[in-house]
A and B are shown apart, each in its own frame.
Chain A
Amino acid sequence: MARSRRREAVALVMPSLVPILVLSVAPLVIGIALAFTDARLVRRPDYDFAGLENFLDLADNALFWDSLRIGLTWTVSVTVLQLAAAMGLALLLNSGMRLQGLTRVLALVPWAMPPVVVAIMWQMIYSANSGPLNALLGSLGLPGDTNWLGDFSTALPAVVLVGVWVGMPQTTVTLLAGLQQVPPELHEAAAVDGARAWRRFTAVTWPSLRPIVASITSLNFIWNFNSFALVYVLTEGGPGGRTMVPVLFVYLEAFKNREIGTAAAMGLVLVIVIVAVLALYLRSQFRHDTERGR
Chain B
Amino acid sequence: MRSLVRPAQYLALAVYLVFLGFPLVWLVSASVKSSGELNSLSVSLLPQEWHWDNYAQALERQGIVRSAFNSLVVALLSTALVIVIALPASYVLARVKGKVRMAGVAWILVSQVFPVVLIILPLFLVLRTLRLTDSLVGLTLVHMTYMLPFALWMLQGYVAAVPVELEEAGAVDGAGRLTVLRSIVFPLLTPGIIATAMFSFVSSWNEFFFALVLLQSPENYTLPITLKMFIGGEGKVALGPLAAGAVLAAIPSIVFFSLLRRKLTSGLMAGAVKR
Pairs across A and B, CB under 8 Å, 16 listed: A20-B145, A28-B122, A31-B118, A31-B121, A112-B253, A113-B254, A114-B223, A115-B224, A117-B249, A121-B246, A130-B39, A132-B26, A169-B20, A173-B265, A250-B117, A274-B113
A118 to B45, CA, bound (A): 18
Q: Which of A51-59, A98-106, A286-294 contacts B (4 or more CB under 8 A)?
A: A98-106
Say if the beta carbon of B182 comes within 8 Å of chain A: no
**Which residues does chain B contribute within 8 Å of A105, judged by CB atoms?**
258, 261
What DSSP secondary structure best describes chain A's contact surface? helix
Say if the beta carbon of A78 comes within 8 Å of chain B: no
B249 to chain A, nearest CB (A): 5
Would you call B272 and A109 a contact (CB within 8 A)?
Answer: no
A294 to B226, CA, bound (A): 52
**Which residues does chain B contribute within 8 Å of A260, judged by CB atoms?**
121, 125
Would you call A45 and B125 a contact (CB within 8 A)?
Answer: yes
Count of A-B contacts with CB under 8 A? 255
Would you call A30 and B125 a contact (CB within 8 A)?
Answer: yes
Say if the beta carbon of A154 comes within 8 Å of chain B: no
In the complex, which range does the number of interface residues on chain A fall in?
Answer: 35 or more
A43 to B78, CA, bound (A): 29
Would you call B250 and A117 a contact (CB within 8 A)?
Answer: yes
Q: Which of A182-190, A198-206, A219-227 contacts B (4 or more CB under 8 A)?
A: A219-227
**Which residues does chain B contribute within 8 Å of A30, judged by CB atoms?**
122, 125-126
A95 to B2, CA, bound (A): 14
**Which residues does chain B contribute within 8 Å of A168, judged by CB atoms?**
20
A213 to B20, CA, bound (A): 22
Say if the beta carbon of A9 comes within 8 Å of chain B: yes
A255 to chain B, nearest CB (A): 6
Say if the beta carbon of B166 comes within 8 Å of chain A: no
Closest 10 CB pairs of A and B: A267-B118, A112-B257, A30-B122, A135-B43, A12-B88, A229-B208, A15-B85, A16-B89, A27-B122, A114-B206
Would you call B126 and A22 a contact (CB within 8 A)?
Answer: yes
**Which residues does chain B contribute within 8 Å of A95, judged by CB atoms?**
9
Say if the beta carbon of A70 comes within 8 Å of chain B: no
Q: A95-B9, A112-B257, A226-B115 are in contact. Are A130 and B266 (CB under 8 A)?
A: no
**Which residues does chain B contribute within 8 Å of A212, judged by CB atoms?**
272-273
Q: A17-B89, A215-B272 are in contact. Are A247 and B115 (CB under 8 A)?
A: yes
**Which residues does chain B contribute within 8 Å of A26, judged by CB atoms?**
122, 126
Q: Using an 8 Å CB-CB cutoff, how does the interface string of A125-136 with B read, 1 for contact, 0 for none?
A: 100011110010
Most B C-beta atoms less than 10 A away, residue of A20, A34, A129: A20
A13 to chain B, nearest CB (A): 5
The residue that A124 contacts in the complex, of B30, B111, B269, with Cβ under 8 A, is: B30
Nearest B-chain residue to A223, judged by Cβ: B112
**Which residues does chain B contribute within 8 Å of A2, judged by CB atoms?**
none
Say if the beta carbon of A228 comes within 8 Å of chain B: yes
Would you call A219 and B112 a contact (CB within 8 A)?
Answer: yes
**Which residues does chain A contribute within 8 Å of B84, judged by CB atoms?**
15
Q: A34-B122, A116-B249, A130-B40 are in contact. Are A13 and B12 (CB under 8 A)?
A: no
Q: A114-B208, A117-B249, A121-B23 are in contact. Are A19 and B148 (CB under 8 A)?
A: yes
**Which residues does chain B contribute within 8 Å of A97, judged by CB atoms?**
9-10, 13
A275 to B224, CA, bound (A): 30
**Which residues does chain A contribute within 8 Å of B16, judged by CB atoms?**
85, 88-89, 92, 103
Interfacial residues of chain B within 224-275, with CB under 8 A of chain A in the complex: 224, 227-228, 231-232, 239, 242-243, 246-247, 249-250, 253-254, 256-258, 261, 264-266, 268-269, 272-273
Interfacial residues of chain B within 118-174, with CB under 8 A of chain A in the complex: 118-123, 125-126, 141-142, 144-146, 148, 152
B196 to chain A, nearest CB (A): 13
